[in-house]
Amino acid sequence: MKKIYKVVNIVILFIILFVISSPVEGMEYNKNNEIYVDAKYAVAIDNKSKAVLYEKNAYMLVPMASTTKIMTTLVALKYGNLDKKVTISARSSGMQGSKVGYKKGEEISIRELLYGLMLRSGNDAAVAIAEGISGSVEEFVKVMNEYASEIGVINTHFHTPHGLDYDDHYTTAYDLAVITCKAKEDKIFNDIVSSKDISAGEHNFTRSYHNINKILWQIKNANGVKTGYTGKAGKCLVTSVKNDYSDIVIVVLNCTPRWKVTENIYNYVIKNYEFKKVALRDTIADEVKLRNKSVKLKYAEDIIIPIRKGSKYVMKIEKPKMIGTSIKPGDKIGNVKVYCDGNIIYNNFLISDSYYKVNKMIFPNIIDSIKSLVEE
């Protein structure tokens, strides 16, 4: 009997040790407490400062599947009339993959199509939006690529508005996060991607929509954004989670346990970073001396940045050596940069708080120098 108890105790001990030593699903730590996740490509950034909080292969070119539709929505909100009715074409209704189920000949507003696009991941909605705004999918895709370049996304190329696999349809995890941050500047975008259920009667839509993005139910304060899946891209997910000062945007691409991995990355960020308010909007940062007058420079916004716990940050002010012929309050003059552990995590312009006017472009003090030479 004693031998049996001894064997049972040994088994129990092994079970306890196994549970303690097993990593959380989708995540493990090395000896330096650095996180590793079960995703081929991933990034987490602060929505406002764009500071990178975690990254794994975040700058490699990869397929993006239906996360493409974030850019489709961004372009539609910029260039489309949301109340315009679009007649569903044969091309739209005949789309393969995920779809809402719009029928050829139906008339749907672009506003409703955007809900079908982002909540139901409708490829048919993507084609209808493209045709309704630009006349054709091909012309709409040109606008997508032009606008991507305009907002500084340089390692991304779109072939479609829906994201089905094509060799020249690719992005990076980082680019996709930047696109998402840009889209989140629009209230309508946020309203759409944070919606769990939309009833037809409440919005005068043709049908109701239930959001297939499970992350809205799994992480407290999650407010978007988009799922995706194709054979080449694997399972993808772009997520936004609101905190006290900003939103944390998390992208995982080619990630089978995407829900759990996203949650683990979010928990890692919360555990390892704290948001600090290092400057207040409209307070004086510095001044530029011009002849007999000083122009004060102010912060254009509250500067609230994520700082890794235990790290130190340094703020640097860059002032111009040359000015234009005139300055008025609100003009952009100089920059403020914040560094953490030698890496830049914030960069924005400063603004003038007063008027200044000269007759021509000058170096500071150049006129005074010429006067002194003449007087001699």
CA dist., res. 192 & res. 176, Å (int): 18
Its pTM stands at 0.83
Query: Is pLDDT of 86 > 50?
Result: yes
Establish if 100 belongs to a structural domain: yes
Whether residues 142 and 223 share a domain: the answer is yes
356-360-364 Cα angle (round to 5):
65
Select from 213, 240, 272 the last residue of a domain. Answer: 272
Whether residues 111 and 224 share a domain: the answer is yes
Closest CA to 264 of 29, 47, 59: 29
Q: How many domains does the chain have?
A: 2
Select from 222, 243, 272 the last residue of a domain. Answer: 272
Establish if 103 belongs to a structural domain: yes
Output the domain CATH number for residue 338: 2.60.410
226 marked ligand binding residue: yes
Mean pLDDT, the chain, as a whole number? 88
Establish if 59 belongs to a structural domain: yes
- Check residue 324 and give its pLDDT: 64
Establish if 367 belongs to a structural domain: no
Establish if 15 belongs to a structural domain: no
How many other CB atoms are there within 10 angstroms of residue 185's CB atom? 11
Question: How large is the average pLDDT for residues 353-364?
Answer: 63
Whether residues 193 and 287 share a domain: the answer is no
Containing domain of residue 325, as a range?
Answer: 280-357
Establish if 158 belongs to a structural domain: yes
Whether residues 190 and 257 share a domain: the answer is yes
Quote the tokens at residue 105. 């000949």
Establish if 309 belongs to a structural domain: yes
Catalytic positions are 66, 69, 121
Structural contact between residues 26 and 265, judged by C-beta atoms closer than 8 angstroms: no
Output the domain CATH number for residue 148: 3.40.710.10
Whether residues 82 and 191 share a domain: the answer is yes
How many other CB atoms are there within 10 angstroms of residue 322's CB atom? 9
Whether residues 259 and 140 share a domain: the answer is yes
Lowest mean pLDDT among 97-101, 344-348, 365-369: 365-369
33-71 residue pLDDT tens: 578 899 999 999 999 989 999 999 999 999 999 999 999
Quote the tokens at residue 246. 């900003």
Query: Is pLDDT of 359 > 60?
Result: no
What is the secondary structure of 261-308 as a DSSP string?
HHHHHHHHHHHHEEEEEEE-TTSEEEEEEETTEEEEEEESS-EEEEEE
